[in-house]
A and B are shown apart, each in its own frame.
Chain A
Amino acid sequence: MSSQPNNLWPEDFGVIAIVPPVVILKEQAGVLSRMTKNIVEGEVRSSSLAPGGQFYHTLGLVAPALGGYRYELIGIYHDIQLYPADVVYLLGNTRETAHSEEELKDILRNRFADDRTKKIISALIAQSSVQSA
């Protein structure tokens, strides 16, 4: 004879109001793609196999005209709590911690504006122009 088990769970799990780092990263990937007319596309890859059960996301710069050449720009580690998130700027191999959505956006804004980032993107556009000419 079967009976329904007692429900020990709360009625409501609540809604997290914060935006996950991967969402911010994907938004910025789309923005870059639109800015460059898809000559350089931002592409996010995610994995949940990072050490310590962390999530790991990378933002790569992809040049479709160069056979899909991909240059890794940013890596973000975080656990299931989403924040704090460790941001690794792969061009400089620097690591910073964002404790909130706003801090993450500030770090990304600074890293996107870094001369090394701009140089890589402009080089990918230039190389794509030569390659596809």
Chain B
Amino acid sequence: MLTFLFWNLNNRPIEDRVRRLATRHEPDVLILTECAIPAVTMLRTLNTGNETGDYHLTDSKCDEVVIYTRFSREFTVPMHESGRYTIRAISLPARDQILLAATHLPSKLFIEEHGQTLECVGLAEAIRATERRAGHSRTVLVGDFNMNPFEAGISAAMGLHGVMAREVARRGMRTVQGASYPFFYNPMWGHFGDASKGPPGTYYYERADHNVFFWHIFDQVLIRPSILDAFDNENLMVLTDDGSDSFLSERGRPDRRTASDHLPMVFGLNL
């Protein structure tokens, strides 16, 4: 199984916590946003006393996303990049190529809702164009979208078109106003609230307003139908500790003092 770990580090110097996560979950692909940890520091930390394989820093022109892999850099080739996202072809020996898109979209603090939606429209088009160029749509999209799964940018056809049910995603495409849009399956819907196996979300935010959700799922992974069989929902977890220490405060919320204001998540693809 190819294992991915995603975490928004909130620009905190928490490389030791990243290392503990890496040791515990052994991700093949480590995707970080808001990462202010110098690459040299991260490499020294990850690759000291690591018996499960050394990490490599991969090439990127996207300042918002840093990707380390346990396989050689030569197996990940940037296909399309912007300041906000990177789309890579991952071609591992004896496995079908996949596309990995990783992003950190603007926060609601800096851009209004329509702007966020339009960012998703642009990202969706970039992914479709890259899929056409690659000749397949075995694509996994991961990141901090600063939007919940139910917001238009994530769910709308012209946006990322992420739906909550596999059965719907397996239809492949949907035609709206004469144009066809491919689906993503968005498994994060199942991670809302107390009935989920993990915490109620990946990010906590409240303010003195009427309609407040408190917990949000801004950190998401979306999967194209063509690799849906490789994805088992059981292998997707929002993490609340690194094996030693909790990422949550005493009040049960992401602890930005000792970790990050976002919780990490890990998932796998049986390719």
Contact = CB atoms under 8 A, between A and B. Distances in A.
Nearest to A125: B40
A133 interface: yes
Interface stretch (A37-45, A50-58, A72-80, A91-99): A37-45
B48 A37 contact: yes
Given A37-B44, A39-B43, A64 B58 contact: yes
B34 to A, nearest CB: 15
A67 B59 contact: yes
B40 A129 contact: yes
Interface in B1-45: 38-41, 43-44
Interface in B44-76: 44, 46-48, 54-59, 73-74
A7 B167 CA distance: 57
A109 interface: no
Contacts of A37: 43-44, 46-48, 54
Nearest to B74: A43
Nearest to B73: A64
A81 interface: no
A129 B57 CA distance: 13
A128 interface: yes
Interface residues of A, number: 17
A128 B43 CA distance: 11
A34 B54 contact: yes
Contacts of A132: 38-41
Given A64-B73, A67-B59, A68-B59, A39 B40 contact: yes
A33 interface: yes
A38 B55 contact: yes
B156 to A, nearest CB: 36
Interface in B66-121: 73-74
Contacts of A67: 59
Contacts of B48: 37
A113 B228 CA distance: 51
A65 interface: yes
A81 B241 CA distance: 56
Given A34-B54, A67-B59, A128 B39 contact: yes
Interface in A87-133: 125, 128-129, 132-133
B56 to A, nearest CB: 5
Closest 4 pairs between A and B when the two form their complex, measured CB to CB: A132-B39, A64-B57, A132-B38, A37-B47
Interface of A: 33-34, 37-39, 41, 43, 62, 64-65, 67-68, 125, 128-129, 132-133
